[in-house]
């Protein structure tokens, strides 16, 4: 009887163990990782001063490439409003960000999400792009704010300077010179 | 009785010293979870602007080598664990240094917490071409810290800021850190 109990307990234990191990192997693992040294934290004034243009737009499809051995994501953005700076001269632009779906990149801005609306401080992308639309990088990788609940939520690279939330009017007003 | 008084005085002195003289080091977990399986490592330089970057690359490796840890970082031309390079990073703004793990390393790390070879650490010349030699060192010693297994650490006071502070404005401009600190060395000794 005792032996049977031990056998049953062992079998149940083994099943749990196999289940746990199975879960561990199913979990998706990023194939590569990026860690960055940041020049500084940007204030809104820095973002305004260093950006070529500030726009509101809606993120759409994205593609991933390696540029100089670094994984990069290009996301198409439909321009909804030109807020400040030079105009892009196009209805669509591409936003270039470090990282990708199989990359862990905790120091950089999270990739733009398809369908989400953003206010972005932008600089021209200086490398060659195979896209037909103009490409831009996010100023300081911190000039990105996602529309949410009638305001804007900061979604740039980790910052000790920028507040987590802005009202819509306040951010747009600060983005203009 | 005299012995007890003497002991009490020593204990009180130690407590006061701890409270007022030696700032309590904030407890944080710096290691990021992946490291080399051995402290005996080799690095290779892949520098394009040798006049400006070769010397800081060699000194950055030397600063880690000279710490009171088991780490050795010897220069090689093939079979390096770490490649130190300079270049431009057009795909993002605001970064002066980067470490990229090669594809496949993170899977290996997930299973045994070790990576094997080929960490690629990089200066972004868009910014670092305008840095002094010491400031370039601050960036590369930081990136090599990542390669050895350290994650980021952020503190307000320069007393606590380590080479693993993520912002160069804080790490170097404010706090002049360009060598591994006591805290960095302690974390490396935990790992290796």
Is A125 found in the same domain as A61? yes
Query: Greater confidence, B170 or B23?
Result: B170
Is A83 found in the same domain as A49? yes
Write out the residue range of the structural domain in which residue B71 sits. 31-191
Tens digits of residue pLDDT in B146-175: 999 898 888 999 999 999 999 999 999 999
Is A64 found in the same domain as A151? yes
pLDDT of residue B108: 62
| CB within 8 Å: A39 and B90 | no
> What one-character DSSP code corresponds to residue A168?
H
In a domain, A37, yes or no: no
Number of domains making up chain B = 1
**φ, ψ (nearest 5 deg) of residue A60:** -130, -140
A positions 48-107 inside 8 Å of B (CB) = 67-70, 72, 96-98, 104, 107
In a domain, A68, yes or no: yes
Nearest Cα residue to B33 out of B123, B106, B101, B142: B106
Nearest Cα residue to B191 out of B62, B44, B41: B41
pLDDT of residue B104: 60
pLDDT of residue B110: 63
In a domain, B101, yes or no: yes
Query: For residue A138, what are the CA distances in angstroms to A30, B75, B102, B161?
Result: 24, 37, 25, 28
In a domain, B160, yes or no: yes
- CB contacts, 8 Å: A30 with chain B: 106
**In angstroms, rounded to a whole number, what is the distance separating the alpha carbons of residues A40 and A48?**
15
pLDDT of residue A68: 80
CA distance A135 to chain B (A): 10
Task: For residue A94, give the CATH number of its domain.
Answer: 2.40.50
- CB contacts, 8 Å: A123 with chain B: 93
| Exposure b/e, B141-161, CB count within 10 A at least 16 = b | bbbbbbbbbbbbbbbeeeebb
pLDDT of residue B23: 38
Would you say residue A23 has pLDDT above 80?
A: no
In a domain, B17, yes or no: no
Is A3 found in the same domain as A89? no
Mean per-residue pLDDT for A62-86?
92
Mean per-residue pLDDT for B45-68?
97
Is A163 found in the same domain as A119? yes
Greatest mean pLDDT among A35-39, B15-19, B98-102 lies in A35-39
In a domain, A35, yes or no: no
Under 8 Å CB-to-CB from A130, ≥6 apart: which residues?
A: none
pLDDT band, residue B138 (cuts 50/70/90): very high
| β-pair partners for A33 | A104
Query: Greater confidence, B70 or A30?
Result: B70
pLDDT of residue A32: 78
pLDDT of residue B116: 63
Would you say residue A16 has pLDDT above 50?
A: no
Is A63 found in the same domain as A25? no
Is A65 found in the same domain as A15? no
Greatest mean pLDDT among A99-108, B15-24, B180-189 lies in B180-189
Nearest Cα residue to A128 out of A76, A173, A67, A175: A67
**In angstroms, rounded to a whole number, what is the distance separating the alpha carbons of residues A89 and A50?**
20
Would you say residue B142 has pLDDT above 90?
A: yes
Task: For residue B179, give the CATH number of its domain.
Answer: 3.40.390.10
pLDDT of residue A162: 94
CA angle, corner B101, sides to B39 and B145, nearest 5?
Answer: 45
Could you write out the DSSP letters of every residue in B134-155? HHHHHHHHHHHHHHHTB-----
CA distance A13 to chain B (A): 22
pLDDT of residue B35: 85
Number of domains making up chain A = 2
pLDDT of residue B171: 97
pLDDT of residue B27: 38
ipTM over 0.90: no
Mean per-residue pLDDT for A69-83?
94
Write out the residue range of the structural domain in which residue A140 sits. 44-175
| CB within 8 Å: A125 and B139 | no
pLDDT of residue B106: 61
Q: Which of A37, A70, A137 sits opposite B168 (nearest CB)?
A: A37
Average pLDDT, chain A: 85
pLDDT band, residue B4 (cuts 50/70/90): low
Would you say residue A17 has pLDDT above 80?
A: no
Round the CA-based radius of gyration of chain A to a whole number and report it: 22
In a domain, B150, yes or no: yes
Mean per-residue pLDDT for A111-125?
97
Tens digits of residue pLDDT in A141-173: 999 999 999 899 999 999 999 999 999 999 999
Would you say residue B177 has pLDDT above 80?
A: yes
pLDDT of residue B29: 40
CA distance A31 to chain B (A): 5
User: Tokens standing for B167?
Assistant: 């912002």
Would you say residue A41 has pLDDT above 90?
A: yes
Percent of chain B with pLDDT over 70: 77
Tens digits of residue pLDDT in B93-132: 999 999 987 766 666 666 667 776 678 999 999 999 999 9
């Amino acid at each position: 009887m005792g032996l049977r109990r031990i056998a049953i307990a062992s079998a149940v234990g083994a099943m749990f163990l196999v289940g746990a191990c199975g879960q561990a192997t199913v979990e998706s693992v990023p194939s590569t990782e990026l860690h960055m040294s940041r020049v500084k934290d940007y204030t809104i004034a820095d973002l305004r001063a260093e950006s070529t243009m500030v726009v509101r737009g809606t993120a759409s499809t994205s593609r991933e490439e390696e540029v100089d051995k670094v994984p990069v994501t290009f996301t198409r953005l439909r321009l909804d409003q030109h807020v400040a700076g030079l105009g892009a001269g196009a209805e669509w632009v591409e936003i270039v960000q470090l990282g990708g779906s199989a990359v862990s990149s905790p120091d950089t801005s999270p990739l733009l999400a398809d369908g989400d609306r953003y206010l972005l401080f932008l600089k021209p992308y200086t490398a060659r792009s195979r896209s037909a639309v103009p490409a831009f990088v996010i100023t300081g990788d911190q000039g990105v704010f996602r529309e949410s609940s009638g305001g804007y939520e900061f979604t740039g690279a980790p910052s000790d300077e920028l507040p987590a939330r802005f009202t819509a009017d306040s951010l747009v007003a600060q983005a203009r010179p | 009785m005299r012995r007890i008084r003497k002991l009490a005085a020593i204990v009180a002195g130690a407590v006061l010293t701890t409270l007022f003289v030696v700032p309590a080091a904030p407890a944080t977990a710096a290691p990021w979870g992946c490291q080399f399986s051995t402290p005996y490592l080799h690095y290779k330089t892949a520098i394009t602007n040798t006049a400006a970057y070769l010397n800081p690359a060699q000194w950055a490796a030397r600063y880690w080598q000279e710490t009171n840890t088991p780490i050795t970082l010897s220069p090689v031309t093939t079979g390096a664990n770490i490649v130190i390079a300079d270049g431009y990073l057009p795909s993002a703004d605001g970064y002066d240094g980067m470490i990229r793990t090669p594809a496949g390393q993170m899977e290996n790390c997930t299973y045994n917490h070790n990576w094997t070879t080929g960490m690629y650490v990089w200066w972004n010349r868009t910014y670092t071409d305008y840095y002094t030699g010491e400031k370039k060192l601050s960036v590369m010693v930081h990136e090599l810290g990542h390669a050895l297994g350290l994650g980021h650490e952020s503190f307000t006071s320069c007393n606590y800021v380590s080479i693993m502070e993520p912002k160069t404005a804080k790490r170097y401009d404010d706090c002049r850190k360009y060598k591994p600190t006591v805290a960095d060395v302690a974390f490396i000794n935990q790992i290796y």
